Structure 1
Amino acid sequence: MYPEQIYYPKELSWLSFNERVLQEAADKHNPIVERIRFLGIFSSNMDEFYRVRVAEVKRQIYIHLEEGNEQAAVNTKLLMEKIQQKVITLTESFEKVYDDVLIGLKRYNIHIVDKNQLTPYQQEWLINYFKNKILRHIAPILLHKKVNLVDRLNDFGTYLYVAIHKKDRATKYATIELPTEAMSRFIQIPPEKSRKKKHIILIDDVIQLCLNIIFKGFVEFDEMEAYSFKVTRDSEYSINDEIDESFVEKMSESMKQRLIAEPVRVIYDADMPLEMLKNLKKRLKISSFDSLIAGGAYRNFKDFIGFPNVGRSYLENPALPAINSRHFTDFDTAFDAIAHKDILLYYPYHRFLHFTEFVRQAAFDPSVKHIRLNIYRVATKSRIVSSLIDAVDNGKTVTVVVELRARFDEEANIEWSKTMTDAGIRVVLGSPSFKIHSKLCVVSREEKGELVHYSHFGTGNFNEKTAKIYTDFSLFTRNQELAQEAIWVFDLIQLPYRRNKFQHLQVSPLNARTKIQILVRQEIQNANEGLPSGITLKVNNLVDQQLIDDLYRASQAGVKVKAIVRGMCSLIPNIPGISENITITSIVDRFLEHPRVMVFTNAGQPKVFISSADWMGRNMDNRIEVGCPIYDNDLKQQIIHILEIQLKDTIKARVIDAEQINKYVKRGNRKKLRSQVEIYHYLKSLE
């Protein structure tokens, strides 16, 4: 193991990733509506960062102090200080970018107005709109000694903190949750005169405008004021294994822990008066101001992901219509297509419909006997689940593994498990020991008296919604050896004591780490023997120190390592004597880069794998993940070419260096190349 100084802290690296998202919001080459949506993505990411990463750091501080490990506690506190400093810097940049985006919107006659900028006509219209559309969704919480505000707040909600003033009486306080679950946060005001100008106001301002309507007749007041705030809680929870109850019941109880967890962050309107802030701090039981972050008037900016385009179409990215794969469309059935040749799809460039059609056909095909599938995240209205229910109605055996602990999708997956169980699907509720993160589907058909398996291996979830915005690979194959090992993975989940020997698949936590290390060592041996060597890697996160050490050793042996890392990266390239042969870039663009891919040069006979696993300790050791080899030479070359295009990106690629300051890749004399657009045209040319 190398000294600690050669690993970049993953939490700071994550903030560096979100800074790349903010760069997209700041980039004036992006359409103006896309820029404001990137601000929403940045905000949503920051929420998750606090729920997961910051909460974990805080827990580590408490653990070190409890164990009496003062030096570890000091080091972790120093990390927390660095996190807070970086967050303050990013928050300041965010506010500047937002102001710039507002100016940009005005150039296209789109005006985001607040309650102080309204004309009498607009005020009157909004008051009527409030009474008729919004008021029914408003339920204030009047605060008094018996009200525990921490227990009442929804982690994903946005709130107004209301001060109710009455002469000669103590100020009273209330909270109002914005009803964004019931309606859009953005309200377009009808034109008063010119139809050219579009005016949008946030529901926050409309509620502040109408505070007197909400409270009149219920409390006495001379005046009121309201300012926005939101809380972010620790997303972790524990599952009590001592209580004799079902896994679903345990998960439901564990979810309640999250609802009442201590806030790790409170963001508030910087204009909130000090007395109000002190009162809010007291009611939220925050012991210090460390978790309080001042910001602009609007909190929970994640809603801006759905900011409406009320102007011309060119104010957002032009559509890239999803491609129909001829490898499917040239055949009568999906099974004929897959039997003819292995098929590789790359979403969102290809239509996710090909997968949903594969499951739909399996649901009524008389030859299909058994469908196996595992669920991590699915769409709110899932056609896949509907097809699986249809399959049961058609007399087929359907086994679905549901991961109840998919972060922030726990409640949805609990409901899905109940729905499918009621429909007659055999639901397996994951494993108490390991999260199930693999992306597997196996359809078993009877053909000429024998059972033949058609399998799917993917890097992304079976989710119709995210398949439109996440890039992911899907492999469809009739290879019976791969299919049998995929079935063994389902067996492993249900019967963990039964261990099959996986020859082809990389399966966490059984052999994935070992298999990857063997592949890296082979490249080192090839380099030492003067044979062609090299490693090309694409992952979301690269933080596992054992695997990073292997890449460092490969670099020292002369193996060229090229990595594309979207998010956290603890590996530091170009350290003298350690990582001079490693280059890392990161691409942030209109689609979220999500695949995990490995290419090993293997003395000129490349070995290519797609996987559900990032290079993180949790993915290698604490989850069930599957990496699948690509055996078809045409598909190998297709993946290699896609990676080559991404490595040549001169528009959206940033260099990951020792400081992680997100410098764009220098174009030099090379032509401008935006890899996501170039890949679309490449894949289209293959059809």
Structure 2
Amino acid sequence: MNNTIASIPLCNREISWLFFNERVLQEAEDVSVPIIERIRFLGIFSSNLDEFYRVRVATITRLTHVNAKAKELLGFNPRAVLTEIQRKVIELERRFQRLYDVITLNELAARKIFILKENQLNVMRGNFVREYFQQKVLANLVPIMLSKKNGRFVIPELKDRRIYFFIRMSHKGKQVEHALLEIPTKLLGRFLVLPGERHLKYLILLDDVIRYCLDDLFFIFPHDRIEAYSFQMTRDSEMDLDVRMEEQVIDLISKSLKKRASGKPMRMLYDPEMPSDMLHQLALGLNLPPETFIAGTRYPNFKDFISFPDMGDPSLVYAPQKPLSVYGLRLDKSIFNQIRQKDYLVCLPYHPFDYIIHFLREAAMDTQVVSISITLYRLAENSKVINALINAARNGKKVFCMIELKARFDEEANIHWANVMSQAGVQVSVGQLDYKVHSKICLVARREGRRLAYYANLSTGNYNEHSSRQYSDASLFTTHAGICNDLKKVFRGLVNNKFFYSYKHLLVSPTTYRKEIYKLIDYEIAEAKKGRKASVILKMNSLSDEGLILKLYQASNAGVQIQLIVRGLCCLVPGQKRYSKNIRVVSIIDRYLEHMRVSIFYHGGEERVYLSSADMMTRNLEQRLEVGFPIYDQSVKVMLKTMIELQLKDNVKARIIDAKNSNSYLRHSSVNQVRSQEAIYDFLAGMHQHEG
């Protein structure tokens, strides 16, 4: 980090991320959100925090061993950051626990829904639970009986993010046995709906099903008391990749995945009701430092609560939104014929993913299609995208697929799909170890007369029909010659494992993206210095690249009006007199996960509008292959700008990002409430109605 960058105001990346996850927790606190959706937001909060520890805390922990000079280059003290992380996480976990208690004990109960513990079962429901335990659960339980060596329990290596019980059996006041037991949530559902009565509804967690029936498991040991307290370990998930040859990639990543499960422990969440002597025994046996232990909840691995049952009451969840058709684009006609006439933008999840599947399916069947080239990052479990590509290969098309094996936590699935496609005749590339291919692009070549015509799809999000129902993304269909020619160059580079350094239309990292973005911002700076209107609007998931932040500070000081919509972490500090007085930042957390990346530059009234797969992070600009693409069609540009304007007007779900990280809602006394996701749906629905 040079002296210029070191002197500018920056929020630490990890701390900023924790404030983002606090915004997720705010959704669980928002009483206007349907109650089961609030419980699911608790699950999202917990899942996010698990990944944070597996990746970011693991990285910071490694940095604690660097010397003073290295700390100066980093620009922060890793140990101090870890201390602040632990302080904030403990604060959020306590808030989480209080909220869970309020929702489950009061708000669900007010709706006649009860989550029962094992000591709250009557005879009828107890018999139901015991029968379920005997038929479904018992065969999946493998207790580990513990013995001591040198005064401490010998505990085997435990799996990452699995729930365990630490169990103590006593007889006539004396401890007789200790055991560990993994809760088989990977094999069984976490929730069991119990028989109801008089319009009352009940459910119990698998954890408490097992607690209720522990006597049936440990009957061979004499005991008159049995205690079971849960804990969960989160391990370092980063993979150590140190070879460069493509043919070794699959084998290397497969081996690294096996190591991930036994990575260094980053966090040990334990039931706060666990007696102190048992906690001490567990800590000794696991040989973990005190800072690893964090008091959690009775039910760790709260990620499962994302799948909390809806209990048969539609008022407890978001009402389903009817998928809208793209204005002017028909699914019962050739998609090639239609996009040959003009560009179309598919806005997920408001529009269905079917348009992308239709595009690939038609390409697979069309006898004039010669080739399909595509990059894939994360895929659905039963991927229709893969099926279409395999079908195309079987129909004699030349299919090239770059599938990124290093998509974090999707590596194993992507290895599987790479093998499936290779066996079906698809030309599969698994990329480079030095760079992730994070772009979402597809190019179809079709023989038309004596020439090849090209049809492109470029997206801000993954070719994943499952996540497309929860993620807000944009996917462009175009036949623009300049864009297609640049895409041909991108794919030529992927086939030949090389980068190109010049493109006429696309922004491509790691070679041209940063330079072109800087050039666009510099144009606004020059305009502002001439006293002309100058503005920049950027929407992204995360903003942490220090060079770009410095460029935005320079633009702000020149008088450029800058509006940022940042869902996640934001290292830029707005509202600073000497740096960012002309920068406004908001974050929107709502029903759908905001994932679209958009850049709008006023450019003297001839606006430049781009969509992109890239966030404004150093890794996206320098260590990944990303593609930003321009919007040339005027109707698509107006449509996209309207959606962004609605988000900038959001005064229901928008939070203000400021120097204090207060996460206050952008709300005022105006009667005109704008909830942007609902407003965007209504806007797109209005276009659909106009079409009819």
CA displacement, residues 398-424 of structure 1 (integer Å, 9 cap, x when unaligned) = 111111110011111111111111111
- Name whichever of 375-384 and 356-365 sits farther off: 356-365
Task: Output the CA distance in 2 between the equivalents of 1:531 and 1:643.
Answer: 23
Closer, same or farther: CA 145–611 of 1 in aligned 2, 3 Å: farther
Q: Say if 2:148 is the partner of 1:132.
A: no
- 1:635 & 1:68 partners in 2: Cα distance? 48
After TM superposition, list the pairs within 5 Å mapping 1:148-187 onto structure 2: 149=155, 151-153=157-159, 155-165=160-170, 171-187=176-192
Once the two structures are overlaid, the 10-residue window that deviates more, 467-476 or 445-454, is 445-454
Matches within 5 A, 1:24-63: 24-63=27-66
Is 1:551 the counterpart of 2:552? The answer is yes
What is the RMSD computed on CA atoms of the aligned residues? 2.1
Q: Displacement of 1:246 after TM fit?
A: 2.1
In the TM superposition, residue 62 of structure 1 has moved relative to its aligned partner by 2.1
Deviation for aligned residue 1:585: 0.3
Quote the Cα distance in structure 1 between the aligned partners of 2:497 and 2:154.
Answer: 44
Q: What pairs up with 1:627-638 in 2 under 5 angstroms?
A: 627-638=628-639
Q: Which residue of 2 aligns with 1:602?
A: 603
Could you tell me how far 1:395 is from its partner in structure 2? 1.1
Matched with 1:252 is: 254
- Does 70-79 or 439-448 show the bigger shift? 70-79
2:499 touches 2:511 (CA, 8 Å); kept in 1?
no
Q: Sort the Cα spacing of 1:171 and 1:248 in 2 relative to 1 into closer, same or farther, 3 A.
A: farther
TM-superposed CA distance for 1:73, in Å, is: 10
Shift of 1:370: 0.7
Map 1:361-376 → 2, pairs under 5 A: 361-376=362-377
Q: Deviations over 1:498-538 (max 9, x none)?
A: 63621111111001001000000000001112222100000
Distance 2:661 2:70 in 1: 33
Q: Is 1:233 aligned to residue 235 of structure 2?
A: yes
1:468 maps to amino acid:
R
CA shift for structure 1 position 2 = 4.1
Unaligned residue ranges in structure 2 (runs of 5+): none
TM normalised by structure 1 equals: 0.95
CA deviation after TM superposition for structure 1 residue 362, in Å: 1.1
Alpha-carbon distance in structure 2 between the residues aligned to 1:484 and 1:61: 47
> What residue in structure 2 maps to residue 418 of structure 1?
419
Question: What TM-score does the superposition give when structure 2 sets the normalisation length?
Answer: 0.95
Deviation digits for residues 529-577 of structure 1 (CA, Å, limit 9, x no counterpart) = 2222100000000111100011101101110000000000011111012
- Choose which of 216, 223, 230 in structure 1 pairs with 2:225: 223
Pairing 1:66-77 to 2, within 5 Å after superposition: 75-77=77-79
Q: Distance in 2 between matches of 1:425 and 1:143?
A: 51
Q: Where do 1:457-472 residues align within 5 Å?
A: 457-472=458-473
What is the match of residue 190 of structure 1? 195
Which position in structure 2 is the counterpart of 1:355?
Answer: 356
Q: 1:7 to 1:301 in 2, by over 3 A?
A: same
CA distance in 2 between counterparts of 1:68 and 1:205 reads 49
**Aligned-pair identity (%):** 40
The 8 Å contact of residues 330 and 337 in structure 1, kept in 2 or not, is answered as no
Q: Distance in 1 between matches of 2:74 and 2:625?
A: 31
The 5 A counterparts of 1:334-345 are: 334-345=335-346
2:113 aligned with 1:110: yes
1:281 is matched with which residue? 283
Show the 5 A alignment for 1:151-550. 151-153=157-159, 155-165=160-170, 171-191=176-196, 193-194=197-198, 196-217=199-220, 219=221, 221-241=223-243, 246-286=248-288, 288-329=289-330, 332-497=333-498, 499=500, 501-550=502-551
Are residues 1:615 and 2:610 paired? no
Q: Is the 8 A contact 1:488 1:500 kept in 2?
A: no
Please state how far the C-alpha of 1:258 moved relative to its aligned partner: 1.2
Q: Deviations over 1:99-139 (max 9, x none)?
A: 12111111111101101111122111111111012212222
Task: Please give the alpha-carbon distance, in whole angstroms, between the structure 2 residues aligned to 1:663 and 1:96.
Answer: 20
Tell me, what secondary structure is at the counterpart of 2:662? coil
Q: What code does the residue aligned with 1:451 have? A: L
Q: How many Å apart are 1:184 and its aligned residue?
A: 1.5
Amino acid of the structure 1 residue aligned with 2:367? P
Question: What is the Cα deviation at residue 204 of structure 1?
Answer: 0.2
Distance 2:21 2:466 in 1: 22
Residue deviations 1:603-623 (CA, integer Å, cap 9, x gap): 111000000100000000000
Task: Give me the whole-angstrom Cα distance separating, in 2, the residues matched to 1:472 and 1:143.
Answer: 50
Change (3 A) 1:68 1:408: closer
Residue 672 of structure 1: how far off its partner (Å):
0.9
Contact 2:652–2:673 under 8 Å retained in 1: yes
For residues 198-218 of structure 1, the C-alpha deviation after alignment (integer angstroms, 9 at most, x for no partner) is: 01100000101111212334x
Q: Number of residues paired by the alignment?
A: 681
**Given the superposition, is the C-alpha separation of residues 119 and 507 from structure 1 closer, same or farther in structure 2, using an over 3 Å criterion?**
same
- After superposition, give the CA deviation of every residue in 1:155-174 in whole Å (9 maximum; x if it has no partner): 23222222244569865432
- Return the offset for 1:369: 1.1
Q: Per-residue deviation at 1:30?
A: 0.9
| Cα deviations by residue, 1:165-206 (Å, 9 ceiling, x for unpaired) | 456986543222222222221111112x42x00011000001
The correspondence for 2:13, drawn from 5, 10, 13, is 10
Per-residue CA deviations over 1:339-378 (Å, capped at 9, x if unaligned) read 1110111100011111011111111111111111111100
Equivalent pair of 1:64/1:73 in contact (CA under 8 Å): no
Task: Go from structure 1 to structure 2 and tell me whether the alpha carbon gap of 1:237 and 1:328 turns closer, same or farther (over 3 Å shift).
Answer: same
* Cα separation, 2, equivalents of 1:31 and 1:305: 14
Work out whether residues 151 and 259 of structure 1, in 8 Å CA contact, stay in contact via their aligned partners in 2.
Answer: no
In structure 1, what residue type is equivalent to 2:189? S
Question: 2:536–2:599: 8 Å Cα contact kept in structure 1?
Answer: yes
Residues 544, 569 of structure 2: 8 Å contact kept = yes
Deviation at 1:220, TM superposition (A): 5.2
Q: Which moved more, 1:70-79 or 1:631-640?
A: 70-79
Contact 2:372 2:444 in 1 (8 A): yes
AA partner of residue 41 (structure 1): I
The 8 Å contact of residues 327 and 687 in structure 2, kept in 1 or not, is answered as no
The structural deviation recorded for 1:150 is 5.9
SS at match of 2:462: coil
Cα distance between partner residues in 2 of 1:320 and 1:498: 42
Change (3 A) 1:4 1:301: farther
Deviates more, 1:366-375 or 1:136-145: 136-145
State whether residues 243 and 433 of structure 2, in contact with CA within 8 Å, keep that contact through their aligned partners in structure 1. no
Equivalent position of 1:84 in the other structure: 86
Distance 1:73 1:602, change over 3 A: closer
CA shift in 2, pair 1:636/1:89, >3 Å: same
Q: Distance in 1 between matches of 2:31 and 2:119?
A: 29
1:253 aligned partner, one-letter code: K
User: Structure 1: which 5+ residue stretches go unaligned?
Assistant: none
Distance (whole Å) between structure 1 residues aligned to residue 361 and residue 241 of structure 2:
36
